[in-house]
Structure 1
């Protein structure tokens, strides 16, 4: 499965880099190329993620020379295409434009991570609250059961006839 992810990532990087170069040569505005820039970053991220995540690959695939060579080639190709896109945007819109794009991308990724952390904390707090309520309900049920058993034993001892005297 990671091989497919790498191929998807590489194809996304290639298509995005090509669209960015064409957009820069056609004098399009940066807003027209925004989707291509996002695709470029996403494709690069997919290649890096698929390269780092080998859990779905068989041992043969992990240790095979072809797999290692393909991973290195794909990573370098993605890096090269990212550099070409950076150069095209820098030449068209100025060098600070690419820096702004990268900084904005990083800040958005940090924000996504921060929101995911907050969401995970909220889920954990909710789970703890539900567990607390469950423990209270179980404790009340056990308490009522114990009181009912004690009451039944007391009632049974009070209503039982006195023992008959045995025959001698």
Structure 2
């Protein structure tokens, strides 16, 4: 059974995603809720048609599996500096949108598995808002909370965690 805090967090995640409207943020489609428990059981988002950046890091011989088995990321994507720069700009644009909201949204778990690719890998979309933070606290309070994937954390946050 979920705690009240967990229920509030899942509802906040679904609501936040539903209010986001940006080409580099996954689109919210709907959610399944347990009204007796005031809990969100499942959040439904748009389907990434190609892969995540994590899947694009490893060649198929290492066992990488694509989100879309019919799309072979390795044969369709021409990895070059321009494609990487396009992805970097799209990522920055998506983050700028999140941070520019009336109540800024801090993702707190940016990693290659949470960055999805669509449109034959030409469009990057930020996903997985499970660790999000609505910026209502002071900067010092936010920096004191250690949350996210350790491998992808900034060094100063990792040092504070250990």
TM over 0.5: no
Q: Which has the higher helix share?
A: 1
Q: If the length of structure 2 is used for normalisation, what is the TM-score?
A: 0.27
Q: Which has the higher strand share?
A: 2
